[in-house]
Amino acid sequence: MAERILVVDDEREIADLVELYLKNDNYTVYKCYTAREALDRVESTELDLAILDIMLPGTDGLSICQKIREKHTFPIIMLTAKDSETDKITGLTLGADDYITKPFRPLELVARVKAQLRRYKRYSGDAPKEESGLITRGGLAINVNTYEASVDERPLSLTPTEFSILRVLCENEGKVVSSEKLFQEIWGEEYFSKSNNTITVHIRHLREKLGDTMDSPKYIKTVWGVGYKIDK
């Protein structure tokens, strides 16, 4: 069954172009031009990924992202204005998994979509399971087979990106993992030029869910100028 992708952009030419390229790769596309249409579609249709333009009339894409994250974990890619760093950070903080800056190359967007869907399939259990299973670090437990995580037996509601970051850190227990390595492991080398803020914001969000603090973290520790680690 073809993956179902929501495309939300009030610029019809852009929405039509994205739809064309995605359909060429055999995705099912639901195209919306307003926030109201988009939210109705989210409620009525089982989706695999959303592409949201931030600049929309009335309710913006950031608000849609926030509403989606109240109930759903499928990947969200934000379309942002050129050099709008604040929008990128806000989007990531609200639960977006990736962003792409306008104007963009359609083939790059399709590549981002494919990368996010691969990770989401692993996260949701639709892909073949890895041999490794449960990893525990103090009160933290992460199962790479079922893509479930908990802290002190409290289930964690993680996005696929947050789960992937936690998995990489747990698998490298006791070692410092650089931001560059996290990029390569999670987004692939083609996204290596992303702003370091991407990792920083995801780590901050992950710490909040773990009940961690930056000043005295129990789980994810920052090694300044190098990266992040989870101690043995």
Instruction: For 70-123, write each residue's pLDDT tens digit.
Output: 889 899 999 987 666 777 778 888 888 888 888 899 999 999 899 888 878 766
Burial class (CB in 10 A: 0-12, 13-18, 19+), 153: exposed
Q: Which fold has domain 4-124?
A: Rossmann fold (3.40.50)
Instruction: For 134-230, give the CATH class.
Output: mainly alpha
When comparing pLDDT for 128 and 116, which is higher? 116
- pLDDT of 213 > 80? The answer is no
Average pLDDT over residues 28-32: 96
pTM score, whole prediction: 0.65
Q: What is the pLDDT of residue 8?
A: 96
Residue 104: left if φ>0, alpha if ψ -120 to 50, beta else—which one? beta
Residue 147 and residue 226: Cα distance in Å, rounded? 28
Q: Which residue has the tokens 């259990």?
A: 125
Q: What is the pLDDT of residues 130-172, one digit of tens each?
A: 444 788 877 888 888 777 889 888 999 888 888 889 989 988 8
Percentage of the chain beyond pLDDT 70 is 90
Q: How many Cβ atoms are within 10 Å of 35's Cβ, its own excluded? A: 20
Average pLDDT over residues 8-17: 94
Let me know if the fold of 4-124 is the same as that of 134-230.
Answer: no
User: What rounded mean pLDDT belongs to the chain?
Assistant: 84
- pLDDT of 68 > 80? The answer is yes
Give the tokens for residue 48: 């695999």
* Helix ranges (DSSP H) in the chain: 12-24, 35-44, 61-69, 85-93, 106-124, 160-171, 179-186, 197-210
Average pLDDT over residues 174-187: 83
Q: What is the pLDDT of residue 160?
A: 81
Q: What is the pLDDT of residue 125?
A: 54
For residue 159, give the 3-state DSSP assignment.
coil
Q: Identity (one letter) of the amino acid at 86?
A: T
The full set of domain ranges for the chain reads 4-124, 134-230
| Reported confidence tier of residue 128, pLDDT bands at 50, 70, 90 | very low
